[in-house]
Amino acid sequence: MTMLCSADEGMWLFSNPPRKLLKERYNFEPTQEWLNHLQQSAVRFNSGGSGSFVSSKGLVMTNHHVGADTLAKLSSAEHDYLTDGFYARRHDEELPALDLELNVLESTEDVTDRVLAVVKPGMSGSESEKARRAVMNTIEKESLDKTDLRSDVVTLFQGGQYQLYRYKKYTDVRLVFAPDKEIAFFGGDPDNFEYPRWCLDVCFFRAYENGKPAEIKNYLPWSKQGAEENELVFVAGNPGKTDRLNTVAHLEFLRDRVFPSTLNTLRRREVLLSNFGDKSLENARRAEDELFGIQNSRKARAGGLAGLQNPAIMEAKIIAEKNFRDQIANDPKLKESSDVWQEIENAVHAWERMYVNHGLLERGAAFNSTLFSIARDLVRLADESEKPNAERLREYNESGLESLKQELFSEAPIYDDLETVKLSDSLAMYLEWVGARSQQEQANHPASDRAQADTSGWKLLNQVLDGKSPQERGADLISRTKLRDVAERKRLFEGGRAAIEASADPMIKLARLVDPRSRELRKSFEAEVEEPLRQGYAKISTAKFALDGASQYPDATFTLRLAFGTVNGYQQQGRPIPPWTEIGGLYTHAKAHGDVYPFKVPKLWVERKDQLDLETPFNFVCTADIIGGNSGSPVVNRKGEVVGLIFDGNIQSLVLDFAYNEEQARAVSVHSAGIIESLKKVYQADGLVKELAGEENR
């Protein structure tokens, strides 16, 4: 339970860095200037990932697998940039991404008091949720009007703190360089989350403003040397989600319900997309990026679940919680927080009761289709736009509208065959989970998950399926909807409620059909689960600050954090694992696997092997505390120079979701020297290399 830090633990706020720890362990005292510079050099990829500015001309470095979403959207049957790679020798060859938004965190402001003040004692869950939403929407809107910056109220410590984050946005982003996928993702799914590794998981974009490369003041210079053993390094990035503050009851729910259920769905989708992709090379290309994401999540979740199922980890949580509760019970000022564990457990039980239906309808597991998501956004926008900003659902709030529109009106390709397969299968899953289809069947067969289906569940299901089998209905919806046409989406968006109500588009009609029940479930979830959890964790978090002092870091929330650690190998099954690999190891590892996919050395790398310095460091590990979302984060030294690029964690790091451990858990990075050597010798990307070296001659 305790989050008192020892070791290289922590995903720290830039506004509350681990000054004491850094001083004591490493005799390092970051200046405010050093912190500000790193913060503003860091970039968030809103598609999910991190990055950094690495030149004064807007050059952004991230992972190939973070850029993959954009690479896939830019690809077609003719040009497969995701697989084959890309390099623009001149600015005018750079390819505009279709819907990518980059964010740079300009400033943060604590708004905890203002947010917490609106929740009055005696309010119901529903009332406090509404009040809290209103104040958060209002703060964001005020900030947007005042600064014109993207403004997000971020929930920290699972409800213990609220901060207003203001971001500078870049929406004209262009592709500069991507290697071929074979080297970016060498070892494929089998080597994912493993170490040692030999991956050039790197990709460069360029941010543009007013049609020209953005002039960037805060960017990271390149280290001549690169990372060395035992060197202190820092990681600035956006870890996605951790659950370290969670109570034991909450963790048990994740272990027994959320993770197993999520894994079932992930495996289902993995098999579905693998089968789809196996049918032809073009099918494989269409499904590739999504399939990678699913496999990556499946492996990460399986590792997380294994952690929760490990009695050693859970026992430690139980003991820590007991100690913490004893401390609270014995502290007259904190005693009134004693009930909070029961309150959280009640909220978890409420979640359990609505888990299936909320997942199917509001989270959309029953409608696994891009076109359905578009339809839902259009339908909800028509309703929400008519309400005062403070009353809107968070994601349709005015401050986020521009970002939402960029996504909604993206020209990214949507493939009917893939959409049909996905939607049909998720409708079949809906049918499986809700179960019986007639009232009589419902009454006759109380089965597990199905038992949760409310009595109106089967009615809605029947209406959704419209008398057809899931396969027929899926094919029917995808073939008849017009939403793949961006102009039609714009027409419906601009036409507002009248246009939506008049639309005969079957996908719009489906989204409208589902919406009342879906909103009802959302409301219950917010009132009975989210709100009580926020209030509960606020109390726990307050007690922790009171007992353990101010030096704490919040659970990850896909917002900017500072991690630190040293470049260090580890022991595994009695064998030492080295801190870094060398380029030459790529050839050895490939050979050991028969040189077949996904362990195949790409053609260019075979041809140019002789020119490479095979002893150049390629990938390395460090003890920094990172997790999914940190992909693409820069690794810098004390001088703030780039020494590496985070792209993965090892298999032992997958339990970091719940607890930090520096014995074996490691962050895995591409080494800065390996990047330069590859760019020079294999890709002959001289312009890019010069730009990274600060010789901007383009």
- Site residues for its own copies per CB under 8 A: 188-190, 249, 252-253, 256-257, 260, 264, 267-268, 270-271, 274-275, 278-281, 298, 305-306, 309-312, 345, 349, 352, 356, 428, 431-432, 435-437, 441, 444-452, 465, 467-472, 593-594, 596, 598
**Torsional sign, CA 102, 687, 221, 613:** positive
How does strand 634-636 pair with strand 232-237?
A: antiparallel
What span, in angstroms and rounded, lies between the C-alpha atoms of 478 and 271? 21
Residues whose CB is less than 8 angstroms from the CB of residue 463 and which lie 6 or more positions away in sequence, other chains included: 513
Among residues 5, 527, 3, 48, the alpha carbon closest in space to that of 241 is found at 48
- To which H or E segment does residue 160 belong? none
Please say which residue, 264 or 456, places its beta carbon nearer to its own copies.
264
Q: Return the number of the residue (258 or 508) whose C-beta is nearest its own copies.
A: 258
Give the list of residues 6+ apart from residue 608 with CB closer than 8 angstroms, or none. Answer: 681, 682
**CA 379 and chain centroid, separation:** 26
Q: Which residue has the tokens 């289906």?
A: 453
Q: Shortest distance, CB of residue 665 to its own copies, whole angstroms? A: 16
Give whichever of 275 and 572 is closer to its own copies, judged by the CB atom: 275
Residue closer to its own copies by CB (options 124, 469) is: 469
Q: How far is the CB of 618 from its own copies (least distance, A)?
A: 21
Least distance CB 470 / its own copies (angstroms)? 6
Q: Which is nearer to its own copies, 14 or 276 (CB)?
A: 276
One-letter amino acid at 202 equals: V
Question: What DSSP string runs through 344-403?
Answer: HHHHHHHHHHHHHHIIIIIS-TT---HHHHHHHHHHHHHHHTTS-GGGS-GGGSGGGHHH
- 3-state SS of 609-646 is HHHCCCCCEEEEEECCCCCCCCCCCEEECCCCCEEEEE
Q: How far is the CB of 572 from its own copies (least distance, A)?
A: 14
d(CA 448, CA 48): 35
Least separation, in Å, of the C-beta of 7 and its own copies?
Answer: 23
Closest distance between its own copies and the C-beta of residue 117, in Å?
A: 34
Specify the residue, 441 or 615, whose C-beta has the smaller distance to its own copies. 441
- Closest contact distance (angstroms) between CB of 100 and its own copies is 31
At its nearest, how many Å lie between its own copies and the CB of residue 322? 12
| Cis peptide bond prior to 598, omega within 30° of 0 | yes
- Note the Cα 458 to chain centre separation in Å: 34
Exposure letters 198-237 (e unless 16+ CB within 10 A, then b): bbbbbbbbbbbeeeebbebebbbbbbeebbbeebbbbbbb
What DSSP state is assigned to residue 529? I
- Give the nearer residue to its own copies in terms of CB position, either 37 or 65: 65
What is the Cα–Cα distance from 168 to 43, expressed in whole angstroms?
10
Residue 247 makes CB contacts below 8 A (sequence gap 6+) with 1, 321, 341, 344, 345, 536, 540
Residue ranges with strand state E in 91-149: 95-96, 102-110
Taking the complex as a whole, how short is the minimal distance between the CB of residue 316 and its own copies, in angstroms?
13
- Triad 51, 10, 54: Cα angle to 5°: 20
Beta bridge partners of 679: none
Of 21 and 272, CB closest to its own copies: 272
Smallest gap, in angstroms, from Cβ of residue 78 to its own copies? 15
Least distance (Å) from its own copies to the CB of residue 324?
A: 18
Comparison of 13 and 453: residue with beta carbon closer to its own copies: 453
Whichever of 449 and 515 has its CB closer to its own copies, that residue is 449
Question: In the complex, what is the shortest distance from the CB of residue 264 to its own copies, in angstroms, rounded to a whole number?
Answer: 5
- Identify which of residues 6 and 448 has a Cβ nearer to its own copies in the complex: 448
CB of 281 to its own copies, least distance (A): 5
Q: Which residue, 437 or 509, has its beta carbon nearer to its own copies?
A: 437
Q: From CA 529, how far away is CA 512, in angstroms rounded? A: 25
- The token duo for 682 is 């294999």
Measured CA to CA in angstroms, residue 335 lies from 2, 3, 223, 327, 469 at distances of 17, 20, 52, 9, 57
The residue (of 119 and 318) whose beta carbon lies closer to its own copies is 318
Q: Can you name the residues that pair with 173 across neighbouring β-strands?
A: 207
